[in-house]
């Protein structure tokens, strides 16, 4: 269930995330079991996004305290320090944020991970460091995520790198990174992130590309998902057919609905048929498409 909460947060559907969290078994008056710690972490993140960084920080620190008490008995790590670092930044507590992320970065490097884990930690360390050191850490974050990380996290790191470059007066390089970050955020359906990056691009003197709609605006991946959904495939079947995750299917469909101006799956076939898509009109999905 936590991944669903993450998806709702990325789509900026915070009210839906709050409602879902209320339905889940998290009792704040009791010491949560390990599987509930993930919910506590998401609640902390959500409270911060809803304008309560102090409340969010409280949840995240509690999550960390329970994890320390349980040590190796926790089946998988929850990177509470990362979200707590952002909450501390929201509260203007830069020194505390720097100390916390330094501990996290040392731990991550000690275990020599790759991909998202290292890339995200480097990005946060870059945000709290001084200009020259921070720029180097942000560049490393982008390199790590380019080599093997999620596109959403890559968009975030490109955005932070672009912002840092803009502050240093390197506007042209800043706009280049921010434009690419905006494109990645749009492709992955990260609505909240895209809006933030577009604002940063404007601040750096760049033009924000007008949102294109209609079938012609669909990416190749979105078109493949839309065709399968329109011919009756479930999200699970689409994921298996295209060798992607169900979360990726959900994010593609969110973008498809927005671009086609429809509210759900039931309108897909008509929207694509009106656009003269013979594949959908005849109910056939050719192999390899």
Chain segment 220-263, per-residue pLDDT in tens: 788 889 999 999 999 989 988 887 878 778 878 887 887 888 88
> Position of tokens 């057919």?
241
Fold classification of 93-210 is: 1.25.40
Fold classification of 215-281 is: Arc Repressor Mutant, subunit A (1.10.10)
> Position of tokens 């709290």?
128
Q: Which of 91, 35, 88 is nearest to 63 (CA)?
A: 35
**What are the structural domain ranges in the chain?**
1-81, 93-210, 215-281
Mean pLDDT of 61-89: 80
Q: How far apart are CA 189 and CA 251, in angstroms?
A: 5
| Confidence class for position 55, pLDDT limits 50, 70, 90 | very high
- What phi and psi values does residue 85 have, to the nearest 5 degrees? -60, -45
Contact 184, 151 (CB under 8 A): yes
Give the per-residue pLDDT at 53: 94
Mean pLDDT of 167-180: 95
Question: Does residue 268 have a pLDDT over 70?
Answer: yes
């Amino acid at each position: 269930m936590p991944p669903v909460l993450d998806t709702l947060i990325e789509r900026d559907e915070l009210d839906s995330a709050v409602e879902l969290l209320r339905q889940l078994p998290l009792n704040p008056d009791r010491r949560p079991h390990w599987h509930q710690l993930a919910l506590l972490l998401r609640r902390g993140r959500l409270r911060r996004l809803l304008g309560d960084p102090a409340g969010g920080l409280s949840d995240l620190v509690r999550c960390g305290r329970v994890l320390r008490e349980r040590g190796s008995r926790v089946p998988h790590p929850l990177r509470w320090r990362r979200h707590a670092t952002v909450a501390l930044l929201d509260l203007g507590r830069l020194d505390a944020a720097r100390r916390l992320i330094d501990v996290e970065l040392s731990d991550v490097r000690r275990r020599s991970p790759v991909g998202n884990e290292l890339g995200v930690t480097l990005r946060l360390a870059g945000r709290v460091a001084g200009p020259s050191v921070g720029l180097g850490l942000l560049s490393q974050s982008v390199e790590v995520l380019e080599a093997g990380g999620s596109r959403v996290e890559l968009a975030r790191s490109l955005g932070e790198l672009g912002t840092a470059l803009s502050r240093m007066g390197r506007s042209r390089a800043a706009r280049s990174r921010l434009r690419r970050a905006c494109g990645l955020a749009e492709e992955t359906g990260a609505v909240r992130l895209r809006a933030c990056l577009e604002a940063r691009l404007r601040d750096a003197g760049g033009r924000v590309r007008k949102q294109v709609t209609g079938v012609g605006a669909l990416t190749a991946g979105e078109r493949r998902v839309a065709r399968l959904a329109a011919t009756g495939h479930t999200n699970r079947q689409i994921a298996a057919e295209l060798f992607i995750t169900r979360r990726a299917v959900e994010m593609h469909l969110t973008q498809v609905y927005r671009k086609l101006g429809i509210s759900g799956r039931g309108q897909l076939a008509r929207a694509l048929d009106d656009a003269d898509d013979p594949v959908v009109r005849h109910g056939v999905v050719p192999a390899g498409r």
